[in-house]
Amino acid sequence: MQTPLMIMLAAGLLLGLAAGFVMHRSDYCVAGMFRDLFLFRSTLLPRTLVLLVGLSLVLFELVRLSGLVAFPFPFFGPPSGVNLVGGFLFGIGMVLAGGCVVGTLYKLGAGRFPSLLALIGLVAGSTLYAFVHPGWAAFSRMLALPTRAVTLPQLLGLPPWLLTVPVGCLLLGLVFVWFRQGRLRQHGVVEGYLQPWQAALGLALIGVASVLLLGMPMGITTSYSKVGAMLLTGVAPELVAGTPYFQLQPLNYLPPLGGGPLTGGPGPLLDGVALVQFPLIIGIAAGSALSALLLGEWQLHLRLPWRQVLSALLGGLLMGLASRMAPACNIWHLFGGLPILAMQSLLFLAGLLPGAWLGGLLLTRLVMPPVAE
């Protein structure tokens, strides 16, 4: 393997380790962030998301102005109504699963059994999508917005800095006011844990490092389809070979570290997608496990109420499907797409909010019904 690709592999692993460690030390769960916003009117974590996005807006624009990385990032495309629909379904799934695509990994690394069930559902849902892809792709084209622009600045015909920097500074100014008011601080945090605002700051820096080293923000959802294709190849290779979705190559870009163009897709090959995303997946789970072990908190609990078992599996299944329908997940869109004002990400967020609300409603009504007195 060429040296630049080896560096990318190592960088992905280290970035994943850092992200998993930070997310575990702060329990920075984006699914919980939106769930608690609607169930308990808790706004602490959403305020830290404003910090993360605001800082990333400025940092990503500085990277763009440096000319080191091509913008917009790979995998982003023109907007469609399916971004909204996918975000809505993803919001339901992540709340029922008890974690998003990345949250499932860091919780699994800490020994949480429901996250293993959610992961199984994620792989199953991502694989199942392959067989509905032709119809969904046609639906996506039908709902496509009448523009080829990928970002809001492109749509308006403006230099990106004219929008990203003022919006970023406005958000950071709001964060400064909250910080002065003590509204970013979580009370009762035990020694060894990070405040949520510290986690948001760390994740923003990890995000910009990912852009510089990998040429794109952290994202892992295509790999769940890839893992499913690999497993399916073991039992039905002809089915995989004859499924058009597994032959797609949506990744085609020049990494910032060199080494020639990287291509890849959701099929069972060890390609560019595997090179970029597999180390992140391993790193996130390992970083969380390391954090839990250092705190003496790693333990596996296998006994679960049947309602929670079904919720984790079905939530993961829906989340896997939605991550392909949207396409991509909340981490990709919120941490990576919003900072460049990608229109797909803006639509995804617009769908995610009501989806998380409905997911919380289903959670309280069906999964955790009130105990009869």
Whether 32 maps to a domain, the answer reads yes
| 368 is a domain residue | no
Is residue 57 within 8 Å of residue 65, measured between CB atoms?
no
Q: Does 371 map to a domain?
A: no
Cα 161 → chain centroid: 25
Q: Is residue 31 part of a domain?
A: yes
Establish if 76 belongs to a structural domain.
no
The count of structural domains within the chain is 1
Which tokens sit at 276?
A: 């970029």
Over the stretch 212-237, which tens digit does the pLDDT of each residue have?
A: 999 999 999 999 999 999 999 999 99
User: Cα torsion at 113, 116, 118, 121 (round to 10°)?
Assistant: -140
pTM across the whole model:
0.97
Task: For residue 319, tell me if it sits in a domain.
Answer: yes
Query: Identity (one letter) of the amino acid at 326?
Result: A
Mean pLDDT of 190-209: 95
Would you place residue 371 in the very low, low, confident or very high pLDDT band (cuts 50, 70, 90)? low
In terms of DSSP H, where are the helices of 98-160?
101-109, 113-129, 133-142, 152-156
Paired tokens of 109: 């690394």
CB 194 within 8 A of CB 202: yes
Range of the domain at 307: 3-71+81-363
104 pLDDT above the threshold of 70: yes
User: Is 216 within the bounds of a domain?
Assistant: yes
User: Quick check: 359 and 168 in contact, CB under 8 A?
Assistant: no
User: Does 65 reside within a domain?
Assistant: yes
Centroid of chain to Cα 110: 19
Residue 318 sits at φ, ψ, to 5 deg, of: -65, -40
